[in-house]
Amino acid sequence: MKWLNDNQIKYQSRNIKTENPTKEELETWYHKSDYPLKRFFNTSGQLYREQNLKEKIGTASEDELLSILATDGMLVKRPLVIGDDFVLVGFKESEWQNALINN
């Protein structure tokens, strides 16, 4: 959010830890993005490790993975920026610059 504020970009904030994204939202965002579905997982999070999701990601279907992601906002990588025609997952300044400023 600091980067958005520093660059004077307006946004709406949503706490996905308490307001889980739905499976339908996640599916829409995934298909709108150019990222592999694994990128949407908070792979450094405790819940990810506790549920041994590293193993499941390699074998589960897209539908199963989206269902897992929708169970708890802590499984979703943050920050997540949803635009009209793009999705940004995690903070990579060059990606944010290209999508939000250079466009």
Q: Encode pLDDT of 48-99 as tens digits.
A: 999 999 999 989 999 999 999 999 999 999 999 999 999 999 999 999 999 9
User: What's the pLDDT score for residue 101?
Assistant: 93
Domain limits, the chain: 17-100
Q: Could you report the per-residue pLDDT of 5-41, keeping only the tens digit for each?
A: 999 999 999 999 999 999 999 999 999 999 999 999 9
Just give the CATH number of 17-100.
3.40.30.10
User: What's the pLDDT score for residue 49?
Assistant: 95
Cα separation of the two ends of the chain:
19
Predicted model pTM:
0.91
Instruction: Reduce the secondary structure of the chain to three states and give it as a string.
Output: CHHHHHCCCCCCCCCCCCCCCCHHHHHHHHHHCCCCHHHHECCCCHHHHHCCHHHHHHHCCHHHHHHHHCCCHHHECCCEEECCCCEEECCCHHHHHHHHCCC
User: What's the pLDDT score for residue 102?
Assistant: 86
The number of angstroms, rounded, from the C-alpha of 74 to the middle of its chain's C-alpha atoms is 10
